């Protein structure tokens, strides 16, 4: 019973942590818009009108790669400390089943960054 209680508490803490990260992630990413993008367009006031907006000083794809690599390395550290890294490759059918899920997750991260890039973090949440 004590083991079940510890497991439930751990799951509750992870659930709260994931919820907080999901809520604050777009806002924190929005704060990193430090570059200014200038675009000249044909405007109503004259031949050229300058439009400025804040943009990322990096590519959203690079953020997704770094974020996913960091999460994967943390997960591998936990798995290596519990069962060893070889246990990951012991069941190839499970690896093949999880690959599409990882791809969907990465695409979702990329789409999140693209939507925050076009709008703002608080609007996304």
| Three-class secondary structure assignment of the chain | CHHHHHHHHHHHHHHHHHHHHHHHHHHHHHHCCCEEEEEEECCCCCCCEEEEEEECCCCHHHHHHHHHHHHHHHHHHHHHHHCCHHHHHCCHHHHHHHHHHHHHHHHHHHHHHHHHHHCCHHHHC
pTM of the shown model:
0.52
Mean pLDDT in residue range 77-92 = 76
List, for residues 61-84, the tens digit of each pLDDT value.
777 777 778 877 887 787 777 777
Distance CA 66, CA 109 (A): 11
Over residues 108-120, the mean pLDDT reads: 74
pLDDT, mean over the chain: 77
Tell whether the model's pLDDT for residue 33 goes beyond 60: yes
pLDDT at 44 over 80: no
């Amino acid at each position: 019973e004590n083991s079940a209680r510890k497991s439930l508490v751990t799951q509750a803490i992870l659930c709260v942590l994931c919820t907080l990260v999901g809520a604050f992630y777009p806002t924190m990413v929005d704060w990193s818009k430090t570059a200014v993008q200038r675009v000249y367009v044909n405007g109503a006031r004259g031949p050229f009108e300058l439009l400025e907006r804040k943009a990322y000083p990096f590519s959203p794809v690079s953020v997704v790669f770094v974020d996913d690599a960091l999460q994967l390395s943390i997960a591998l550290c936990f798995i290596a400390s519990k069962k060893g890294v070889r246990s990951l490759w012991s069941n190839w059918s499970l690896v093949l089943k999880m690959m599409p899920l990882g791809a969907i997750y990465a695409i979702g991260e990329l789409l999140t960054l693209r939507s925050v890039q076009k709008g703002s973090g608080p609007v996304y949440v």
